[in-house]
């Protein structure tokens, strides 16, 4: 940060004060308290998104994507045996969440359509002032449930495509969405782990005339070359990113990917990032308690690049995007060609 001034402007070196970011809801360094003359600290202002995994499946049934949810927003979570979120506990937590500022609620699961209390849940959601997004796996979705999900006010659909897959299945999903507007806005997420799957995704996009689609690189443990080709960034790409001053300050203060987000497993366990230790459990903890725990002792929301290696020693960490779940899962923070041979830490 600085200015370019002609030397004739001043006989001595001019001072340039580095600006400090002003955060509306900063992460407290100590137990949160209201500053004199200001409103009382309200932890409910910190909630941005909450993801509910309504059911899980044994690892064998999710192969080879048992760990995908720790890399990106994959709907299915694995457990030792099939689990379902207690409807009563979920109901109480949603009512507790009702007093928070509007947050995006995600509903996912190994098979969302098989959650027994789904009809009752949809009735409850219709009374809540939150936008909703329902996450489904293409390989086990049921077309009959799609109209119920898509007709909800302020709701969206997200479908995850893994390979092998066929255009017929994807078209069946799209045809089951009753309204043309909702069909165009339905998100299609492709999970890709090699060049062949990436190419198949591109072909499906063209064949099905998709308008809203996303790619999620999936790390298998043996496809490092694919990640380096598709995910790693170069100096030139960092230069071209042009983050705003506001983005730079944000990345120096919080992790934009995780801040304000919670992930809740069917058991009720709550995580700010599924790669970190749990924050609490909705069976015993309120929304306010979960937020305070993460602010006081958590590390997900406050994980920034100048605190990890090798990023802390890199000039570009001011410009790079926030640390991602994929980096945490791979235990490597330099998904770039700036420090290509740096050791993982």
Give the pairing of strands 78-79 and 104-108: unpaired
What percent of the chain has pLDDT above 90? 66
Is the CATH number 3.30.450.40 carried by domain 43-57+66-231+257-303?
no
Q: Nearest Cα to 109, choosing from 267, 1, 240?
A: 267
Q: What is the pLDDT of residue 51?
A: 98
CB 305 within 8 A of CB 327: no
Question: Exposure string (b/e) for 209-223, b if CB count within 10 Å is 16 or more?
Answer: ebeebebbbbbeeeb
- Which neighbouring-strand residues pair with 261? 49
Task: Please give the helix or strand (H or E) that residue 95 lies within, else none.
Answer: helix 87-97
* Residue 169, phi-psi category: left (phi > 0), alpha (psi -120 to 50), beta (remainder): alpha
**Interval 119-141: pLDDT, tens:** 999 999 999 989 999 999 998 77
Give mean pLDDT, residues 295-305: 94
Give the chain's length.
345
**pLDDT tens string 197-251:** 999 999 999 999 999 999 999 999 999 999 999 999 999 999 898 888 888 888 8
- Number of neighbouring beta carbons within 10 Å of residue 253: 17
Q: Where are the alpha helices (DSSP H) in the chain?
A: 59-62, 87-97, 118-125, 146-150, 167-176, 180-185, 195-207, 224-230, 235-241, 245-253, 287-297, 325-330
Which residues are CB-contacts of 206 (< 8 A; sequence separation ≥ 6)? none
Q: Which two tokens stand for residue 173?
A: 């999903």
CB count in 10 Å sphere of residue 254: 22
Domain boundaries of the chain, sorted by first residue: 43-57+66-231+257-303
Average pLDDT score over residue span 159-180:
90
Residues 6+ apart with CB under 8 A from 197: 163, 190, 191
The C-alpha atoms of residue 233 and residue 70 are separated, in whole angstroms, by 21
Helix axis angle for 118-125 and 87-97, nearest 10°, is 10
Give the count of beta carbons closer than 10 Å to the beta carbon of residue 15. 6
Task: Describe the crossing of helices 287-297 and 87-97 by its angle, rounded to 10 degrees.
Answer: 80
Alpha-carbon span 277 to 5, nearest angstrom:
50
More confident position, 343 or 313: 313
Phi, psi torsion values for 58, nearest 5 degrees: -60, 150
Cα separation, 78 vs 210, in Å, equals 30
Higher pLDDT, 16 or 312: 312
- For residue 24, what pLDDT band results from cuts at 50, 70 and 90? low
């Amino acid at each position: 940060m600085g200015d370019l001034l002609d030397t004739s402007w001043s006989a001595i070196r001019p001072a340039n004060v580095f600006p400090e970011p002003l955060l509306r809801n900063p992460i407290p360094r100590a137990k949160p308290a209201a500053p004199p003359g200001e409103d009382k600290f309200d932890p409910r202002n910190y909630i941005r998104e909450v993801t509910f995994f309504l059911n899980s499946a044994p690892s064998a049934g999710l192969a080879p994507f048992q760990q995908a949810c720790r890399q990106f927003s994959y709907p299915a979570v694995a457990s030792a045996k099939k689990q379902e979120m207690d409807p009563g506990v979920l109901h109480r937590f949603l009512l507790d969440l009702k007093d928070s500022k509007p947050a995006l609620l995600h509903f996912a699961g190994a098979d969302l359509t098989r959650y027994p209390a789904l009809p009752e849940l949809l009735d409850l959601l219709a009374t809540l002032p939150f936008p909703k997004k329902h996450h489904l796996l293409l390989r086990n979705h049921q077309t009959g449930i799609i109209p119920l999900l898509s007709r909800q006010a302020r709701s969206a659909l997200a479908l995850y495509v893994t390979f092998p897959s066929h255009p017929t299945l994807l078209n069946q999903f799209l045809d089951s969405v009753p309204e043309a507007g909702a069909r165009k806005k339905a998100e299609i997420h492709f999970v890709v782990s090699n060049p062949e799957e990436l190419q198949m995704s591109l072909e499906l996009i063209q064949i099905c005339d998709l308008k809203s689609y996303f790619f999620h690189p999936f790390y298998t443990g043996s496809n490092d070359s694919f990640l380096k080709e598709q995910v790693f960034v170069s100096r030139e790409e960092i230069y071209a990113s042009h983050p705003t001053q506001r983005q730079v300050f944000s990345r120096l203060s919080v992790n934009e990917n995780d801040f304000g987000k919670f992930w809740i497993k069917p058991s009720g366990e709550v995580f700010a990032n599924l790669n970190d230790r749990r924050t609490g459990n909705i069976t015993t903890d309120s929304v306010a308690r979960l937020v305070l725990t993460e602010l006081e002792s958590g590390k997900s929301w406050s994980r920034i690049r100048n605190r990890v290696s090798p990023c802390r020693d890199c000039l570009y960490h001011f410009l790079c995007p926030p640390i991602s779940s994929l980096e945490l899962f791979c235990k490597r923070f330099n998904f770039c060609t700036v420090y290509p041979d740096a050791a993982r830490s």
